[in-house]
């Protein structure tokens, strides 16, 4: 009788031990399998991120190259032509050294050409680096863009500074933010056929929100992805790469009921910490 | 009888081997608190095993020693897991309270039942459940963090697997340990000793891996 009870208990213990060991083995097997899969997945995500960073860098280089070409073209077309005229005037002066009337004409012409040259140099240097941005910062420089577009009379631009906190990004970050804002405004004017643009700056927590709202044809996130994929959005990629450098976020919205908008969220340093 | 002694000798030898590896890897143990706690546990384990055997040979009642060892084993493994989880302050406080509450409950059970006269199965069962849950929880933490490229290179994967295998494999042995005569007759403790040797070997691998990690 006692032996039968012993056997029963032994069976229970043996079966119980085996079942629990199997369960433990299964858990360990699952952990090993899951970790392998998770590591493969993580490596894939990291590779994708690295590829994305490489693409952004490539596009940034392309944009920079394009900017250089544009500056070279401006120098060649504007300054080159003016300097050629000056050279011609110089040889005319040598030929007509005794003719006072011709010399006076040449002098007058040279004055005009020098003024034009000076204006051209100012315009090119402004394109390369905004003096307002360097001296007065991003907010004033953005305001200046708005008023310069307003002065053309082709488009109505409204600038609203609703910020309650002081916004002072570093020079490098301000420059990236400025270039991105410039590109956004250019895109709205060129592609959205807008007649009115509202630019507003505000605070959300310790982030700064820069919103560009317009009455033209807007684009949403999906459109942006499509354009970039089709290699049609060099400007859009440039905006994205500039903002990714300063770890800012951009959001494209084109709802049916309200005006389309493009919003930049700039995380101030203390937010990231 | 000889077989029991053989398994027990292997078990004791493997525990001593762990202590030796621990001494060789002393620099690593000093850097890693959880490994240090585990090393202390093995010193306590070997000491209590030797003392228990000596007492048995002299015909002195030694069950109180094993019951006391179980309480110390639980406490040290609880500290090991608290250190291993690397929770933030709040998590550390919560996990400490949980482990401490269970320890209080175990002490209460020990005091209310006969601490010196028989092997406390409730105590062992409760201890096993808590430590099985802890090791499963560590696997979850490990899978979230993914600090190591392969689980094999993580020393705590081996140690945690050892704890999971030992306490789940021996769970039924522990809860039926009250049947002293029965277990003696059918040599159920042989199974325990075999699982304990596997446990020691896995801990040994963990200690060795810690050197490279």
B134-163 tens-digit pLDDT: 999 999 999 888 888 888 889 999 999 999
3-state secondary structure B10-63: HHHHHHHHHHHHHHHCHHHHHHCHHHHHHHHHHHHHHHHHHHHHHHHHCCCCCH
Give the residue on B whose Cα is nearest the Cα of A6: B182
- Show the tokens assigned to B123: 């105590």
CB contact under 8 A, B172 and A5: no
- Show the tokens assigned to A104: 């006076």
**Which chain B residues contact residue A23 at CB under 8 A?**
168
**Which chain A residues contact residue B139 at CB under 8 A?**
27, 31
pLDDT at site B1: 45
**Which chain A residues contact residue B188 at CB under 8 A?**
10, 13
Nearest to B151 among A6, A7, A32 (CB): A32
CB contact under 8 A, B169 and A25: no
Mean pLDDT along residues A119-136: 81
3-state secondary structure chain A: CHHHHHHHHHHHHHHHHHHHHHHHHHHHHHHHHHHHHHHHHHHHHHHHHHHHHHHHHHHHHHHHHHHHHHHHHHHHHHHHHHHHHHHHHHHHHHHCCCCHHHHHHHHHHHHHHHHHHHHHHHHHHHHHCCHHHHHHCHHHHHHHHHHHHHHCCCCEEEEEECCCCCCCCCHHHHHHHHHHHHHHHHHHHHHCCCCEEEEEEEEECCEEEEEEEECCCCCCHHHHHHHHHCCCCHHHHHHHHHHHHCCCEEEEECCCCCCCEEEEEEECHHHHC
- Domain extent, residue B208, equals 2-212
Q: How far apart are CA B188 and CA A17, in angstroms?
A: 11
Residue B104 Cα, gap to closest chain A Cα (Å): 27
Buried/exposed code over A51-78 (b: 16+ C-beta within 10 A; e: otherwise): eeeeebeebbeebeeeeeeeeeebeeeb
Give the residue on B whose Cα is nearest the Cα of A22: B169
CB contact under 8 A, A38 and B146: yes
Sequence-distant (≥ 6) Cβ neighbours of residue B54 within 8 angstroms: none
* A32: contact with B, CB 8 A cutoff: yes
Relative orientation angle of helices B33-57 and B155-169, to the nearest 10 degrees: 40
Bridge partners of A161?
A201
* A36: contact with B, CB 8 A cutoff: yes
* A45: contact with B, CB 8 A cutoff: no
**Which chain A residues contact residue B149 at CB under 8 A?**
39
CB contact under 8 A, A31 and B172: no
pLDDT band at A65 (very low <50, low <70, confident <90, very high): confident
Report in angstroms the alpha-carbon separations of A249 from A34, A54, A233, A263: 33, 19, 18, 8
Biggest CA-to-CA distance, chain A: 143
CATH class of A135-273: alpha beta
Nearest to A9 among B139, B142, B182 (CB): B182
CATH number of the domain encompassing residue B181: 1.20.1070
**Which chain A residues contact residue B157 at CB under 8 A?**
31
Total number of domains constituting chain B: 1
Residue B15 Cα, gap to closest chain A Cα (Å): 21
Mean pLDDT along residues A135-155: 87
A207 vs A5: which has the higher pLDDT? A207
What is the share, in percent, of chain B residues with pLDDT greater than 90? 32
A9-34: per-residue pLDDT in tens?
778 888 889 999 999 999 999 999 99
ipTM, two decimals:
0.85
B158-193: per-residue pLDDT in tens?
999 999 999 999 998 888 877 655 555 557 778 888
Q: Are A145 and A185 in contact (CB under 8 A)?
A: yes
**Which chain A residues contact residue B146 at CB under 8 A?**
35, 38-39, 42
CA dihedral (A126, A132, A133, A138) positive or negative:
negative
- Show the tokens assigned to B67: 């019951």
Mean pLDDT along residues A174-180: 89
Whether A226 has a pLDDT exceeding 90, the answer reads: no
Give the residue on B whose Cα is nearest the Cα of A32: B151
Tell me, rounded to whole angstroms, the distance of Cα B87 from its chain centroid.
Answer: 22
Nearest to B188 among A13, A24, A25 (CB): A13
Buried/exposed code over B21-55 (b: 16+ C-beta within 10 A; e: otherwise): bbeebeebbeebebbbbbbbbbeebeebbeebeee
Nearest to A35 among B143, B168, B185 (CB): B143
Q: How far apart are CA B116 and CA A234, in angstroms?
A: 82
Average pLDDT, chain B: 85
pLDDT at site A130: 80
Mean pLDDT along residues A86-97: 86
Q: How far apart are CA A53 and CA A57, in angstroms?
A: 6
Residue A271 Cα, gap to closest chain B Cα (Å): 21
B-contacting residues of A 79-98, CB under 8 Å?
A: none
**Which chain B residues contact residue A25 at CB under 8 A?**
165
CB contact under 8 A, A6 and B170: no
B7 vs B17: which has the higher pLDDT? B17
pLDDT at site A27: 94
B130 vs B67: which has the higher pLDDT? B130
Nearest to B168 among A10, A14, A21 (CB): A21
Whether A44 has a pLDDT exceeding 80, the answer reads: yes
What is the share, in percent, of chain A residues with pLDDT greater than 70? 96
Relative orientation angle of helices B33-57 and B2-24, to the nearest 10 degrees: 150
Sequence-distant (≥ 6) Cβ neighbours of residue A186 within 8 angstroms: A235
**Which chain A residues contact residue B185 at CB under 8 A?**
6
pLDDT band at B117 (very low <50, low <70, confident <90, very high): low
A46 vs A72: which has the higher pLDDT? A46
Neighbours of A269 (CB within 10 A): 11
B190-213: per-residue pLDDT in tens?
888 889 999 999 999 998 888 776
**Which chain B residues contact residue A7 at CB under 8 A?**
186
What is the share, in percent, of chain A residues with pLDDT greater than 90? 28
Whether A6 has a pLDDT exceeding 70, the answer reads: no
Q: How far apart are CA A202 and CA A208, in angstroms?
A: 6
Give the residue on B whose Cα is nearest the Cα of A17: B169
């Amino acid at each position: 009788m006692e032996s039968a009870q012993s056997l029963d208990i032994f069976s229970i213990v043996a079966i119980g031990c085996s079942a629990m060991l199997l369960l433990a083995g299964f858990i360990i097997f699952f952990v090993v399998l899951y970790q392998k899969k998770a590591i493969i997945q993580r490596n894939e995500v990291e590779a994708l991120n690295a590829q994305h960073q490489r693409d952004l860098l490539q596009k940034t280089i392309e944009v920079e190259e394009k900017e250089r070409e544009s500056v070279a073209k401006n120098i060649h077309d504007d300054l080159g032509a003016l300097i050629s005229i000056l050279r011609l005037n110089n040889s005319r002066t040598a030929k007509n050294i005794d003719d006072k009337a011709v010399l006076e004409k040449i002098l007058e012409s040279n004055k005009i050409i020098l003024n034009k040259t000076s204006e051209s140099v100012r315009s090119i240097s402004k394109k390369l680096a905004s003096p307002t941005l360097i001296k007065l910062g991003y907010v004033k420089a953005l305001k200046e863009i708005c008023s310069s577009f307003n002065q053309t009379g082709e488009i109505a631009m409204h600038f609203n500074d609703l910020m309650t906190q002081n916004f002072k990004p570093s020079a490098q970050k301000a420059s990236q933010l400025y270039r991105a804002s410039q590109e956004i405004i250019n895109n709205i004017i060129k592609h959205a056929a807008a007649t009115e643009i509202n630019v507003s700056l505000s605070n959300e927590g310790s982030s700064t929100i820069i919103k560009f709202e317009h009455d033209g044809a807007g684009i949403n996130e999906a459109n942006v992805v499509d354009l970039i994929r089709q290699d049609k959005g060099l400007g859009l990629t440039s905006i994205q790469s500039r903002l990714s450098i300063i770890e800012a976020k951009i959001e494209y919205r084109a709802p049916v009921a309200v005006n389309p908008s493009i919003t930049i969220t700039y995380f101030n340093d203390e937010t990231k910490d | 009888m000889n077989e029991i002694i053989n398994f027990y000798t292997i078990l004791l030898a493997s525990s001593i081997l762990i202590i030796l590896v621990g001494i060789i890897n002393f620099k690593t143990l000093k850097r890693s608190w959880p490994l240090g706690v585990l090393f202390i546990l093995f010193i306590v384990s070997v000491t209590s095993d030797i003392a228990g055997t000596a007492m048995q040979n002299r015909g002195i009642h030694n069950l109180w020693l094993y019951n006391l060892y179980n309480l110390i084993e639980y406490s040290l493994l609880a500290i090991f897991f608290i250190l291993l989880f690397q929770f933030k302050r709040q998590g550390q406080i919560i996990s400490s309270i949980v482990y401490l509450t269970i320890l209080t409950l175990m002490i209460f059970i020990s005091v209310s039942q006969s601490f010196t006269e028989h092997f406390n199965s409730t105590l062992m069962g409760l201890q096993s459940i808590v430590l099985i849950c802890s090791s499963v929880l560590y696997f979850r933490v490990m899978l979230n963090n993914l600090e190591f490229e392969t689980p094999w290179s993580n020393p705590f994967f081996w140690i945690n697997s050892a704890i999971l295998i030992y306490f789940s494999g021996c769970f039924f042995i522990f809860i039926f340990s009250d049947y002293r005569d029965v277990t003696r007759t059918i040599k159920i403790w042989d199974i325990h000793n075999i699982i304990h040797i596997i446990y020691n070997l896995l801990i040994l691998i963990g200690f060795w891996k810690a050197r490279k990690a």
